[in-house]
Structure 1
Amino acid sequence: MALNPDLRAALATLAATPHLLVALDFDGTLAPLVERAEDARALPASGTALRALAALPGTTTALISGRALDSLRVVAEPPEDMMMIGSHGAETWTGPDGAPLALTPEQAGLLARAVDVVERTIAAHPGTRIEFKPAGVVLHTRTATDDVADSAVAAARAGLEDLADLSITDGKRVLEISVIKADKGQGLALLRETTGATAVLFAGDDVTDEHALRTLLPDDVGIRVGPGGTAARFTVASPEDFSEVLSELVSLRTQVHPAN
């Protein structure tokens, strides 16, 4: 991919910031989308670039994902000190001193009722499946036919109508249900504050990433990976193209802040 000149210029400006935060979605951004979520892995070029960025002075790397943190650790294989936001902002990992997620009894009861709705939905819709998260449950429809997927989402939404205080979000062939109202924008704000970043690169491919993209400041760079309406200043077509963006950022940042 020939890098967009405007994007390269924005990366060059970003690379000169004193403390850079590179916070990235995983599925569809660092890793191509796959039918089985557990099979996803970051593209080698992206993984190499992210490790190189993490080794540079004044540079923090982080992952902001819809996955639960335990799932994200398995597929992303992050270094122990990498900050992570999981479950669309409901789970955070900023270091070993951070408190684990704990639900109130009311939240736990609400989650159990939501799980029951999704379990009944997948039982009636072949090709759909369920994913359990610490603060939520997910209906996956990627392996179902389009008509079955549409019917499953409609059935799940209908079953959840009477359950108040749920956060329900449509993603790429998923319906995310959480008992904690959080999003990636809130997660990115936490990372920015925790690291003291002077500028941020954020990239994502799904509607849930738009929450983070809409929080970016003038000195930040937002990138949408793949098609779709977006608040990002820049778009690239695929995770493979985004690998080139990361490699370019490594080169530019190294010139300004060489590794020790």
Structure 2
Amino acid sequence: MTEGPAVPLDRPVLDAIAALAALDGEGPVLVASDFDGVLAPLVDDPSASRPTPGASAALTRLAALPPGRARTALVSGRNLAALAELSSPPAGVLLVGSHGAERGAVLGSGAVETLPFALEPDQADALRAVSDGLEAIAGPVDGAWVEHKPSAAVLHTRRCSPEDARRSVEAAVELGASLPVHTMQGKDVVEIAVVETSKGQAIDALRAELGAVAVVYLGDDVTDERAFAVLHEGDLGIKVGPGETVARVRVSTTDDAAEVLAVLAEHLER
């Protein structure tokens, strides 16, 4: 006997899921989601982030579907290694790290197969300048720290006081403007990348590679708006939490997001 939904979903969400599951096309439904703030609650220590039990269970169900019916992907700003370690995804899940700069897939053994990635010499020089500059900004600020990725560096200010966070963010944005790089702001982060990527570009690439008939995307951050913006009329964008969005529907919490994935899995299993 299975338990009922922990969180009731609004009718627009349920109707949209039912319409997607009823599609009869030549390709799978791509179910893609951000990790932090969607599958895993936001926490002050990023290394402590873990998916909720409901999200893990739903991902396992989705990943077990025939590849012609559905494909599942995690699309995150985290680097690929951290995303794989913290999310513990089941076999078959596609992984997109660093906002699309890194790609991989979870194999049946649980290992992650990664696509080759390398920077050009000028990009490597720019990344060193970005990393050194952000470390100089974060060094004297209590609670600020810098995350280093293969193609970017990220200033984190979640643990800072509001005033320290404001000044640090302003300094990071100024640093980005002074270099041939790409700056993105999210929740308590400023990411400066030397490769132009976005979650929207990643979704477009996955759609084309898989021949997906439709895309479901769940996100909570400003950077997820780029993914919502590339969705087609028959797709479904789901914003998790508050904030302006171009997504079609909204749910409130990570528990809601897990329930969305569970209901979607139930429909796709039919």
Could you tell me which of 104, 116, 121 is aligned with 2:137? 121
Q: How does 1:69-218 map to 2 (within 5 A)?
A: 69-93=80-104, 99-164=115-180, 166-218=181-233
In 2, the alpha carbon distance for the partners of 1:134 and 1:208 equals 19
Is residue 21–residue 268 contact of structure 2 (8 Å, CA) maintained in 1?
yes
- Equivalence for 2:259: 244
**Residue 97 of structure 1: CA displacement?**
7.6
Ranked by relative contact order (alpha carbons within 8 Å, sequence separation 6 or more), the top structure is 1
**Residue 31 of structure 1: CA displacement?**
0.4
Is residue 169–residue 175 contact of structure 1 (8 Å, CA) maintained in 2?
yes
Q: Does 1:40 align with 2:56?
A: no
What SS does structure 2 have at the residue aligned with 1:200? strand
What SS does structure 1 have at the residue aligned with 2:269? helix
What SS does structure 2 have at the residue aligned with 1:2? coil
In 1, the alpha carbon distance for the partners of 2:18 and 2:83 equals 30
Could you tell me which of 16, 25, 33 is aligned with 1:10? 16
% identical equivalent positions: 42
User: How many residue pairs end up in the alignment?
Assistant: 254
TM-score (norm 2): 0.90
**Residue 200 of structure 1: CA displacement?**
1.0
What SS does structure 1 have at the residue aligned with 2:83? helix
- Equivalence for 1:227: 242
What SS does structure 1 have at the residue aligned with 2:139? helix
Q: Give the residue type in structure 1 aligned to 2:17.
A: L
**Residue 160 of structure 1: CA displacement?**
3.4
Moved over 4 A (4+): 94-98
Is residue 117–residue 160 contact of structure 1 (8 Å, CA) maintained in 2?
no
Could you tell me which of 38, 43, 50 is aligned with 2:59? 50
Is residue 168–residue 178 contact of structure 1 (8 Å, CA) maintained in 2?
yes
**Residue 5 of structure 1: CA displacement?**
0.9
In 2, the alpha carbon distance for the partners of 1:22 and 1:56 equals 11
In 1, the alpha carbon distance for the partners of 2:76 and 2:95 equals 8
Q: Which moved more, 1:70-79 or 1:172-181?
A: 70-79
Listed one character per residue, the Cα deviations across residues 18-62 of structure 1 (whole Å, up to 9, x for unaligned) are 421101100000000011111101110111011101112211111
Q: Does 1:66 align with 2:81?
A: no
- Equivalence for 1:22: 31
In 1, the alpha carbon distance for the partners of 2:90 and 2:121 equals 33
Q: Which moved more, 1:25-34 or 1:192-201?
A: 192-201
Q: Give the residue type in structure 2 aligned to 1:115.
A: S
Is residue 59–residue 90 contact of structure 2 (8 Å, CA) maintained in 1?
no
In 1, the alpha carbon distance for the partners of 2:8 and 2:115 equals 44
Listed one character per residue, the Cα deviations across residues 66-87 of structure 1 (whole Å, up to 9, x for unaligned) are 0000110110112343211110
Q: Give the residue type in structure 1 aligned to 2:49.
A: A
Q: Give the residue type in structure 2 aligned to 1:11.
A: I
In 2, the alpha carbon distance for the partners of 1:80 and 1:108 equals 33
- Unmatched 5+ residue regions in structure 2? 1-6, 107-111
- Unmatched 5+ residue regions in structure 1? 256-260
TM-score (norm 1): 0.94
**Residue 99 of structure 1: CA displacement?**
3.6
Listed one character per residue, the Cα deviations across residues 84-137 of structure 1 (whole Å, up to 9, x for unaligned) are 111011112258886411000100000000111101001121110010000000
In 2, the alpha carbon distance for the partners of 1:9 and 1:155 equals 45
